[in-house]
Structures are given as C-alpha cells and as structure tokens.
C-alpha cells in the first residue's frame, strides 16, 4: 500500500513559511503610525493580518498584475511602508496570502481525518471523495480563498508552484495510490495518472461550476445540504469507471 506514504507527504508539507518575510527585529525606518506597526508587536500583527486578508480579496477579484500596493493599503487602512516592513514587496505579500490560505486549509481539514489504512480500496475511495468534497465545498471559509486559487490557475504566477507542491501534488499522490491498487499491476503509470485526474476532476467540478449548476438545477442546493449523499454517488461513479478499466486490462492480458 502507498496510502501511508501519501499521508506522510500530506503531513510533511503542512508546515509552510512565508518567503521574503522580514525579521521583526529590524528597526522600522519609516514614518508609519503606531497603530500600524506597534512597538509592542500587537498592532503590528493585526496590521499584517489585515493586509493579508485585504490583499487576498483584491488579488482574488482582480488578479496579481491588476492589483496595486496602494490600492491594498488604502482598503486595509495602512500605508505602503507597512507592506515593506511586514513582507518586503508586492510578490511577497501575494505569497503570504497564498500561504495563509494553505495553512487555513490544512488546519481545518488535516489529512489525519481520513482513516485510509486497513480499508479496502473501495472504502478508501469513498472516504477520500467525502473528505475532498467537504474541503472543496466548505461554506465557512472566506469566499476569496477559492477565488484566489482559481485566479492563480487562470493567471499563473511563480507562486503556483507552491500550491502544486503543498496542496495539489500530495492530494494527487493519495488518489494515485488508491487508483493503482484498484487497477492492478498491469496498469501503466500514464493510465493511473489519467484515472486519478478523472477522480479529482469529478469532485472539483462541483466547486468550479456552482454558478452554472445553481442556474441549471435550481432545485438542487450547491453545495448540497448533505455532502455524504453526493460523496456516495460520486465515489460509486468513480468506482464503476475504475472497475471497467480493470476488466479491460484483464481482457488484454488473456
């Protein structure tokens, strides 16, 4: 089984640090108001968090290139010097917003919630789909979180590599492990990869297509009131497809 390895990968990447963050021991050489920087560090932390959340919303709505530092600080009630002090520049602030999203996601949905070891491949698939849908369709997270990642996918910056390394790749590793067990040793790596991508995309569809689904099927709530029912349906759908591929592989071997 590769599941345990997939889980360890997931857990190992949950420790993220904001690159480009300046040490707070450095003396501030600018005329920032006390409430923005704060000699005791309390105001400084609040300003930093406010900048991250404000920037996250603006980056999500407008994209990295079309969002200016002056626009961010105007909405955050801070100044340009505060961005320099806390982050160093616009790209580092953008990296911090992505890092904030990643940490929030890992904290609320740790992979330890998914008990895969010792279960059959069919149960593992069902557990993963349920976990992944809960994470994707979480109604309590700020709306800009999902929009920020979607914007980064559509208009990639160098920060996309961090999202891939810390979120997408570990998720894919777990699904690849499940799919590999289902299809058997005769499945090529390319076939396992394509099948794993099909499982992931089946779930992601419900996140990215909310506006379309709510218009086409107004009688269905998106996300549904009971994610368990949707997870059961999608996992059975994916299981049926994987078993069809497995039967095809066995026929070729005969």
Per-domain residue ranges for the chain? 3-13+108-253, 34-86
Structure confidence at residue 218 as a pLDDT band (50, 70, 90)? confident
Assign domain 3-13+108-253 one CATH number from 3.30.1380, 2.40.128, 1.10.357, 3.30.70. 1.10.357
The class of domain 34-86 in CATH terms is mainly alpha
**Residue-level pLDDT at 5:** 38
What secondary structure letter does DSSP report for 165? I
pTM (2 d.p.): 0.76
Return the pLDDT at 23. 33
User: What pLDDT, in 10s, does the model give residues 101-143?
Assistant: 999 998 988 766 666 777 899 999 999 999 999 999 988 888 8
Reported in sequence order, the residue ranges of the chain that DSSP labels E, i.e. its strands, are: none
d(CA 165, CA 167): 6
- Least Cα distance to 125 among 234, 7, 245 occurs for 234
- Report how far residue 103's alpha carbon sits from residue 15's, in angstroms, rounded to the nearest whole number: 8
pLDDT at 38: 41
Determine what percent of the chain falls in helix, strand and coil, rounding each to the nearest 5. 70, 0, 30
How many beta carbons lie within 10 A of that of residue 196, not counting itself? 21
Which residue, 215, 205, 50, is CA-closest to 137?
205
Q: What's the pLDDT score for residue 44?
A: 80
Residue 4, pLDDT > 50, answer no
Checking if the pLDDT of 223 tops 80, the result is no
């Amino acid at each position: 089984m590769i599941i345990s390895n997939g889980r360890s990968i997931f857990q190992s990447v949950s420790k993220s640090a904001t690159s480009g963050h300046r040490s707070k021991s450095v003396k501030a050489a600018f005329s920032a108001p006390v409430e923005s920087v704060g000699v005791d560090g309390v105001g400084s932390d609040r300003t930093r968090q406010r900048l991250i959340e404000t920037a996250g919303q603006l980056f999500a709505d407008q994209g990295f290139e079309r969002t200016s530092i002056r626009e961010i600080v105007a909405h955050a009630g801070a100044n340009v010097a505060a961005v320099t002090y806390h982050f160093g520049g616009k790209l580092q602030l953008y990296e911090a917003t992505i890092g904030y999203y990643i940490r929030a996601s890992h904290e609320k949905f740790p992979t330890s919630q998914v008990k895969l070891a010792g279960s059959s491949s069919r149960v593992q698939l069902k557990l993963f789909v349920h976990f992944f849908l809960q994470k994707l369709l979480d109604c309590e997270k700020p709306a800009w979180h999902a929009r920020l990642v979607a914007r980064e996918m559509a208009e990639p910056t160098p920060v996309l590599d961090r999202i891939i390394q810390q979120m997408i790749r570990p998720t894919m590793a777990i699904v690849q492990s499940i799919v590999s067990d289902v299809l058997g040793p005769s499945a090529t790596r390319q076939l396992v990869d394509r099948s794993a991508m099909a499982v992931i995309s089946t779930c992601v569809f419900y996140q990215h297509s909310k506006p379309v689904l709510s218009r086409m099927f107004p009688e269905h709530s998106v996300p549904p009131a009971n994610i368990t029912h949707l997870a059961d349906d999608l996992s059975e759908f994916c299981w049926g497809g994987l078993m069809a591929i497995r039967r095809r592989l066995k026929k070729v071997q005969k």
